Every structure is written in C-alpha cells, then in structure tokens.
C-alpha cells in the first residue's frame, strides 16, 4: 500500500473496501451490544457484572465471561491487527501510528480485562471499562474513516490517470 500498489489493482481496492465495510459493521454492533447491556455509567457496568437485586439479575459467572473473552480476544485482536497494519502505510507520522496502534490494542485488551476486574477484584474498575469502550470505539472509527478516505482518494487518483 505504501508504494501505491493497491492503486493499480481494482481487486485489491475492492477487497479493502469490503473489509472496511465489515469493520464498520463490527464498530456498530460492538457499540449496540455494549449499550444493550450497560450504559456509560459506572453503576450500570457494576450491575451488569455484579448483578442487581432490583432487576433480579445474577452476577456474571466466570464460565460465561470466559466464553465472551475467548471470542472477543480473537475478534478484536485480528480486527485491530488488520486495521493498524493498513494504517502503517497511511501518510501519518510514526509517532501517530505508534499511538493509534497502542490505543487500539491497549483499549481492546484492557476493555476485556476490566470486566474481569469489576467482577472479581473491585467495582471501581467500572470506570476503566467505560474508558476502554469509548477509546476502542473512537480508535476503530478513526481507523475506518481514515483508511476509507485514503482508499477512496487512491481510487480517484487512479481513475484520473487512466
């Protein structure tokens, strides 16, 4: 991508476009699923993981959390790997690339870990869960939009030269 090889290959642009569409779907469904279960308040995060007597909900079991973590770690890891790998070739400074890579992987990992921390260490980690969710969603949105813009401009530039 850095040398512009994808600009001359419409199939590569098509593949990358579809990948970004799926990434956008992940961004949307990730936000919808989070907000279906919790809000952006520490109390709602605590109620989700620790149970809520008023709502008659039970604390999350380690087994159910393990199943969720298993899927999330794989999905989030691969998605962040893919998008940050593409971002490496974007025309950004290396410092910005390091930050976006760190924030992407860090927020995904700590977001998953924070649920465990709320449930089994301290309810105070609910703030970390919220911060990681918002950071992950922001990084994912930034990567999708910037990469889509980069891809769109590359495709337009190719058509002008043709």
User: What does the pLDDT profile of the chain (162 residues) look like in tens digits?
Assistant: 455 555 566 787 788 889 899 999 999 999 999 999 999 999 999 999 999 888 888 999 999 999 999 999 998 999 999 999 888 877 789 999 999 999 999 999 999 999 999 999 999 999 999 999 999 999 999 999 988 888 777 766 655 544
Report the C-alpha gap between 142 and 148 in whole angstroms.
10
Q: What number of other Cβ atoms are within 10 A of residue 50's Cβ?
A: 16
Report the C-alpha gap between 60 and 79 in whole angstroms.
26
Looking at residue 158, its pLDDT comes to 53
CA 151 to chain centre: 20
Q: What number of other Cβ atoms are within 10 A of residue 56's Cβ?
A: 7
Report the C-alpha gap between 58 and 71 in whole angstroms.
22
What's this model's pTM, rounded to 2 decimal places? 0.84
Looking at residue 129, its pLDDT comes to 97
Looking at residue 42, its pLDDT comes to 97
Looking at residue 56, its pLDDT comes to 87
Looking at residue 32, its pLDDT comes to 95
Report the C-alpha gap between 2 and 138 in whole angstroms.
24
């Amino acid at each position: 991508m850095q040398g512009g090889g994808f600009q001359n290959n419409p199939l590569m642009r098509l593949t990358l476009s579809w990948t970004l569409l799926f990434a956008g779907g992940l961004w949307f469904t990730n936000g919808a699923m989070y907000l279906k279960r919790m809000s952006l308040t520490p109390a709602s995060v605590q109620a989700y993981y620790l149970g809520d007597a008023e709502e008659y909900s039970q604390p999350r079991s380690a087994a159910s959390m393990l199943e969720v973590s298993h899927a999330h770690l794989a999905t989030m890891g691969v998605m962040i790997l893919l998008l940050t790998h593409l971002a490496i070739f974007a025309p950004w400074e290396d410092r910005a690339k390091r930050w976006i890579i760190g924030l992407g992987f860090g927020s995904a990992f700590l977001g998953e870990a924070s649920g465990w921390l709320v449930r089994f260490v301290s309810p105070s980690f609910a703030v970390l869960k919220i911060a990681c969710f918002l950071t992950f969603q922001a990084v994912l949105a930034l990567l999708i939009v910037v990469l889509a813009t980069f891809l769109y401009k590359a495709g337009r530039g190719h058509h002008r030269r043709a």
